[in-house]
Amino acid sequence: MIDRLWFLLPELIMLGGAIACAIVGLSRDAGFRRTLPAVVILTLIAAYAGSLAVYQTPNLEAALGAGAVALPWLGSVVIPMVALIGTVLVLVQAGFVDRGYESAVASGTVRFDPLRSARGEYYAFFLLSLAGLMLTCEAPDLIWLFLALELTSLPTYIMVAIGRSDRRSQEAAMKYFFLGALAAAIFLFGFAMLYGATGTMELVAMKDVLVARAADTGSIGSLATVGLLVALIGVGFKLAAAPLHLYAPDVYEGAAAPVTAFIAFVPKAGGAIAIMLLLSVTGWAGEGGSLPPAVLVTLWVMSALTMTLGNIGALLQTNVKRMLAYSSIAHSGYILIGIIAGPGAGFAAVLIYLLAYGLGNTATFSVLAGLRRGGEEVERIEDLAGLRERHPGLAWAMAISAGSLLGFPPLLGFWGKVLLFIAGVVSGQLVLVIIAGVNSAISAWYYLRLIALPLTGSPTGSSRAVEGRRTFGPRLAGVLACVLLIGLPLLLEPMLREVDAAVRDVDSMRVDMTSIEPPASPGDYDLPG
C-alpha cells in the first residue's frame, strides 16, 4: 500500500496543498490570507519535485502493482507541464478572488467572517482540479479515469460560480454544470458498454481482449465499437469539441477572465489525455494494428467540424472572450489531428501543442485580467485599440500570445502546429491537414486583429477609458508566459526527446516494470519520413 501511495506522491502533495489553502483562507489575519497564491505555487513546485522522485525510481512494479498503465511514463511529462502552466495561472488569479469583500474588511466597513470568504476554497478547488489532471494520465482502469476526469471538471463549475458575483457568472456556472453532467453521463454510458463488451474495467486487460477478438474476427465487435464512440463523444465535451462545444462561448463570457484562463486549458488537457488512453485499448499501436474504421471516421469528422466551426464562429465575434472561446474550440480540432495520427509522433505532438496552447491562451487572458473599463472587465475587441500608449507591456503580451496561437514563427505555437501537421501527413491524413491549413489561414484574420489593435491601432473614446488593475499578478503572468513562448523553442529538441520517451511504449501496455529504467538518456525523436 505504501508503494502505491509513493506512485501518487505528486497528487498527495496537491491534496495537502488544497487542505492548507482551505485552512489559510479561514484566517482572520489579512496578511496571512494574502499568502494563498504563494502557498499554491509552493505546492506546485513540491508536486513537480515529487514527480521527479517517483519517475526516477528504478523499479516501479511495486508502485503500479502487477498490471501496468497504458502510458507508464506519461506523468513524467504531464506533471511538469501542469506545474509550469499552473504557476502562470496562479499569477493570473492573484488578487481577484474576494477583491471587494477584502477591500471592505481592510477599510473597516465590515468584520471578517470566514463563512463569507471564498478565497481559500477557490485556491483549494484550483489545486484539486490540477490534481485530477495529473491523475488522468495515470489511470489504469475506467473507474479511475472517470473519477479523475470528474475531479478535473467539478471544481471548475464552482470556480466559475464564485469567480465573480454577477448574474452572468451564475448563469454560466449553471450551463456549464448541467451540460458537464450530461457529458459525464454520456461517456460513462460508453464506459459501461466497453465493460460489457470485454468483461473488465482494466485498460490492460481490455486491450488484451479486444486485440484477441480483432485477430480472430477482424473486428473488436459492435458493442465495443459503439461504446468507444459514445465515450469519445462524451469526453469531447472536456475538449469543447463538436458536437459538444456550444457551451464554451457562453461560459467563457460569463466567467471572470482569470477563471476562463483556467477552464480553457485544464479540462481540455484532461480530455485529450483521456482520449489517448481510451484509444490505446484497441491495440492501435501494435504490429499491423489500426483504429476501427468507425472510430477513425468519427474522429476525422469531429476534428474537421471542430476546427471549422470554431474559426468561423470566432470571425463573427465582437466580444473578445467569446472570440477566444471559439478559438479554443478550433484548437481542439487541431489537437484531434495529433490524436488521429496516433502513438509516437502524433501523441508527442499533442503534448507539445498542449504546452504551447496553455501558455499562449493563459497569456491572452492575463492581459484581459489585468485591464478594467469602468470597474468592469474589458469585453469588446475595440477596447484594446491603442493599448500600447498606456500599457505597452500588456499590449506586447497580447501580440506575442496571439501570434503564438496563430502559429507565427518562431514562437512555440508555430512549432506545436508544425509537429501536428507533420504527424498528420506521415500518418496519411493529408486531407485533414489541408483542412487544418485552411482553417489556420482563416484564424489569421481575428488573431491579427489582436496583434494589430493593441500595437498599431488608434485609441478611441472607449479604449481611452481602459485602465490597468493595481494587482501585479496578471502582468507578471503575461510576461512570464511570453518569455516561455519565445524561449522554449530553443529547448525544443530535448523537450521532444522527453515527450517521445513518455509515449513511445504505448504499443506495449503490459510492461514488465522491473525492466524499465527512467528516461535519463532517451533516443532521439524521429519523425517517420
Amino acid of residue 436: A
- Structural domain of residue 481, as residue ranges? 2-515
Please indicate, yes or no, if residue 522 is contained in any of the structural domains: no
pLDDT of residue 214: 85
- Pair 148, 132: CB distance under 8 Å: yes
Q: Coil, helix or strand for 141?
A: strand
Are the C-beta atoms of 276 and 349 separated by less than 8 Å? no
- HEC string of 292-318 equals CHHHHHHHHHHHHHHHHHHHHHHHCCC
pLDDT single digits (tens) 499-509: 877 766 444 33
Q: Is the pLDDT of residue 514 over 50?
A: no
Note whether residue 520 is domain-resident: no
Residue at 523 is within a domain? no
Per-residue pLDDT reduced to its tens digit, 249-272: 999 998 989 999 999 999 999 999
Number of domains present in the structure of the chain: 1
Please answer whether residues 145 and 58 qualify as being in contact, where contact means their C-beta atoms are separated by less than 8 angstroms. Answer: no
Q: How confident is the model at residue 73 (pLDDT cuts 50, 70, 90)?
A: confident
> Helix H segments across 137-246?
142-163, 167-198, 203-217, 222-239
DSSP state of 175: H
Residue 344 vs residue 11, higher pLDDT = 11
Rg of the chain over Cα atoms, rounded to whole angstroms, equals 22
Q: 315 in a domain, yes or no? A: yes
Indicate the residue type of 495. Answer: M
- 53 burial (CB, 10 Å; 0-12 / 13-18 / 19+) is exposed
Q: Are 18 and 131 in contact (CB under 8 A)?
A: yes
Q: List pLDDT tens digits, range 363-395.
A: 999 999 888 887 788 888 888 888 888 888 999
The DSSP secondary structure of 462-502, one letter per residue, reads: HHHTEEE-S-SHHHHHHHHHHHHHHHGGGGHHHHHHHHHHH
What are the pLDDT digits (tens) for 223-253? 999 999 999 999 999 999 988 888 999 999 9
524 is a domain residue:
no
Measured CA to CA in angstroms, residue 492 lies from 127, 448, 486 at distances of 28, 25, 11
> So what's the pLDDT on residue 519?
36
Higher pLDDT pick, 204 / 13: 13
| Helix, strand, coil percentages in the chain from 3-state DSSP, rounded to 5 | 75, 0, 25
- Answer yes or no: is 410 within a domain: yes
> CA–CA separation, 36 vs 159, rounded Å?
16
